[in-house]
């Protein structure tokens, strides 16, 4: 069953076209990667799918709901980890989770239980009562990851999930994301890191110039060919060498 549907999506900022005719379908239970260089349109696509911004053209649906028409209905059912955002500066992680629980209708006792579980999982239990502005980048990223999953949504959008995390926590996050997918949930990971996409995702869409230039399953690539080869062939060829991408 399709969890996310994108058809002929187009979004511009002034003269700059961020997404240009993009079409993708993501099935329930997939860990889908949106891979692309800087400015490929990954973040814009995620923002449209979560109803944060409106596209000029195209149709999108998440769990059968149009985020353009019903943005809060979509956001009630999904989790979002934006790349740029940090937790609010003057609340502590514990209070931030209270805030997320309050706006998402999660009972206080469940928030408490999940807060403890996540703090132990990602190793920030001793920072739960520290003001977010005084946390390191890595600790802030752990808080934001927790916030995206706190209400246990069936679909989660994650922008650069491993940014600023040490290798040990990176492995824990990867393990968790796979287990979350195995439980039947859908995850969309946007990244410009080819290794992360290859290791983590069951399917990868490569974006370039606002459109999909490849849709591959890393585990099904021919022997000797890597996701990096595909990426360079489809993206680098057009950027550096002026060679049109192969079919």
Partner 1 sequence: MTDGRTRRVFVEMFREEWRLHSRLFRGRRFALFPVLIALLAAGTVRLLAVTGTEPGTVFAGLHALAFVFGLHTGSIGLVARDALRNLLGDLTLLVFSARTLPLSQNRLLAVFVLKDVVYYALLFLLPIALGTVPAVVGPGELPGTVPLLWATLTLTFVLGMGATIAGLGLAGRGVAGKALLAAVTASVVAAWLVGVDVVAATPYGAFLAPTAPRLGATAATLLSVFAVGALTFDATDGRQGRTVGPSFRRWRRRVGDPVATKTLLDVHRSTGGVGKALFSAAVLFGVTASLIDLAGQITGVSPSVGVSFGAVLGLSGFTTYNWLTQFDDVDSYLVQPLTVADVFAAKFRAFLLLGPLVGLGVYALALVRRGGPAGEAAVGGVLLVGVACYIFGTTVYLTGLSPNEFLFDTALFAVFGAAMVVPLVPILVVGFVFAPLSLGPLAALGAGGVVLGILGVGLYRRAVPKWSGRYRSG
Strands 203-208 and 31-35: parallel
CA–CA separation, 88 vs 136, rounded Å? 13
Task: Pick out residues in 4-23 that bind partner 1 (CB under 8 A).
Answer: 11, 13
Tokens of 222: 């021919």
Q: How far is the CB of 50 from partner 1 (least distance, A)?
A: 7
- 188 contributes a contact to partner 1 by CB under 8 A: no
Tokens of 192: 């410009």
- 54 contributes a contact to partner 1 by CB under 8 A: yes
- In sequence order, the 6+-apart residues with CB closer than 8 A to the CB of 132 are 86, 87, 88, 89, 90, 91, 92, 93, 96, 140, 143
- CB closer to partner 1 out of 44 and 141: 44
Task: Pick out residues in 102-121 that bind partner 1 (CB under 8 A).
Answer: 102-104, 108
Taking alpha carbons only, the member of 165, 156, 220, 217 closest to residue 190 is: 156
- 100 contributes a contact to partner 1 by CB under 8 A: yes
Strands 57-62 and 186-191: unpaired
- 176 contributes a contact to partner 1 by CB under 8 A: no
| Interface residue with partner 1, options 5, 52, 164, 170 (CB under 8 A) | 52
Residue 108: how many CB atoms within 10 A of its CB?
10
- 134 contributes a contact to partner 1 by CB under 8 A: yes
- CB closer to partner 1 out of 80 and 177: 80
Q: Which of the stretches 34-42, 70-78, 194-202, 235-243 binds partner 1 when contact is defined by CB under 8 A?
A: 70-78
C-alpha separations of 198 from 6, 119, 201, 203, 204 in Å: 22, 28, 6, 9, 8
- CB closer to partner 1 out of 147 and 218: 147
- 38 contributes a contact to partner 1 by CB under 8 A: no
- 237 contributes a contact to partner 1 by CB under 8 A: no
| Site of interaction with partner 1 (CB under 8 A) | 11, 13, 44, 47, 50-54, 71-73, 75-76, 80, 82, 84-86, 88-92, 94-95, 98-100, 102-104, 108, 129-131, 133-134
């Amino acid at each position: 069953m399709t969890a996310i549907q994108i058809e002929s999506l187009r979004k511009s900022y002034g003269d700059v076209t961020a997404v240009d005719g993009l079409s993708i379908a993501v099935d329930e239970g997939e860990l889908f990667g949106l891979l692309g260089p800087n400015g490929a349109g990954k973040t814009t696509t995620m923002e449209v799918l979560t109803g944060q911004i409106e596209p000029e053209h195209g149709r999108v649906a998440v769990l059968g709901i149009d985020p353009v028409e019903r943005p809060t209905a979509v956001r009630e059912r999904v989790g979002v980890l934006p790349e740029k955002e940090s937790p609010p500066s003057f609340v502590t992680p514990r209070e931030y989770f209270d805030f997320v629980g309050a706006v998402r209708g999660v009972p206080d006792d469940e928030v408490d239980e999940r807060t403890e579980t996540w703090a132990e999982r990602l190793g920030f239990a001793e920072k739960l009562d520290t003001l977010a502005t005084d946390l390191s980048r890595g600790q802030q990223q752990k808080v934001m990851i927790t916030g995206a999953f706190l209400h246990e949504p069936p679909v989660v959008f994650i922008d650069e999930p491993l940014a600023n995390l040490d290798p040990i926590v990176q492995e824990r996050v990867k393990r968790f994301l796979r287990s979350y997918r195995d439980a039947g949930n859908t995850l969309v990971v946007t990244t410009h890191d080819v290794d992360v996409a290859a290791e983590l995702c069951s399917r990868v869409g490569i974006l370039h110039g606002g459109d999909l230039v490849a849709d591959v399953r890393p585990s099904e690539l021919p022997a000797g060919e890597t996701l990096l080869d595909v990426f360079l062939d489809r993206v680098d060829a057009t950027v550096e060498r002026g060679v049109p991408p192969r079919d």
